[in-house]
A = this chain, B = another copy of it.
Amino acid sequence: MPRVGFCGLGAMGGAMARNILAAGFPLTIATSSPEKAERFRGEGASVADTPAALAQRSDVIVTCVPDAGALDALIDGDGGFSRADLADKLFVDCSTIAPHDACRAAERIRSAGGRFVDAPVSGGTKGAAERTLTIMCGGQAADIEAATPLLKAMGKAITHFGPLGAGQAVKAANQLMVAVNMMGAFEAIALARANGVDPEAMRQALLTGAARSGVLEMHAKRYLDDALAGGFRIELLRKDLGIVASEGGRNGLSQPASALAHQLINAACNAGFEGQDSAALGRFYDLANGKARP
């Protein structure tokens, strides 16, 4: 069994690393938190002092960090991966970053002899805990094949979408559609209310027709139920739409609806909805429609 290294033991990464241990892989972690080091040691993991030391004693290295800057720091910071000989090491990055940032990171890893695949996940902390994550992969087919037993310890639907960055592109596309579909759902709800229609009755009726969506099923319901604590926080969707914008910018894509969603989600965060579920965009629409006071 390949020896696995794991960096980025947050809410997602921590659960994923535990499933790797549970599947029987020898695991090394690196963390700046003495508490996390202690806890994982107690569960059977080794602890390395630096990412470079972790890489030296691992065959496959999984990273799951908040953004491209954090990944860069793991690679090129003090004691970073690039300080080690990475020949025959396979890096599996489960962070959500821009496709071109994935390509940039891959280049740095390659220049130290290693291999790299992008493998962002979706399914939230629940999916991470229950091993039901969807994992979207980009990179060389042989590398993804080599990573598959490990990916299967973390998730369920594992798809190889194309070259490096392809997994990140599909993740970005997913977030883009969720955000755009939310605008549609909340504008539909406002139109219904203005005409004396109970939005929950409308939501249920339209779930069987052409306007049905995961957003109308889940996000609109959370908004209507006022169940916006916890969940996928709106500032994370803001970050993801920043990735969509930067990727669109690099490729000269016309993305009017994504840009609008990005701006409205920015505004919702600025208006005080940070920390709430992304469906709090509906609350921002309430403000914009004079149906609430800040």
A residues near B (Cβ < 8 Å) are 99, 122, 134, 136, 138, 157, 159, 161-163, 165-166, 168-170, 172-181, 183-185, 187-192, 194-198, 201-202, 205-206, 208-216, 218-219, 244, 247-248, 251-258, 260-261, 264, 285, 288-290
Contacts and interface: CB of A to CB of B under 8 A. Distances in A.
B256 A191 contact: no
A174 B210 contact: yes
Contact of A197 (B122, B161, B187, B288): B161
Given A159-B201, A198-B162, A177 B190 contact: no
Contact of A256 (B244, B248, B264): B264
25 contacts: A159-B205, A161-B202, A162-B196, A162-B197, A163-B196, A166-B196, A169-B195, A172-B191, A173-B188, A173-B189, A173-B197, A174-B206, A174-B211, A176-B191, A177-B181, A177-B216, A183-B257, A187-B253, A210-B218, A213-B214, A213-B215, A252-B290, A254-B288, A257-B260, A257-B261
B285 A254 contact: yes
B214 A214 contact: no
Given A134-B205, A161-B197, A172-B191, 4 more contacts: A161-B198, A170-B197, A177-B185, A177-B188
A176 to B, nearest CB: 5
Q: How many copies does the complex hold?
A: 2
B177 A247 contact: no
Contacts of A157: 205, 208
Of the listed residues A187, A196, A248, A264, the one surrounded by the most CB atoms of chain B closer than 10 A to its CB is A187
Contact of A180 (B99, B183, B285): B183
Contacts of A214: 209-213
A180 to B, nearest CB: 3
A244 B285 CA distance: 16
Contacts of A247: 191, 194-195
B260 A213 contact: no
Given A209-B214, A253-B190, A184 B195 contact: no
Contacts of A165: 195-196
- Among A170, A218, A290, the most chain B Cβ lie within 10 Å of the Cβ of A170
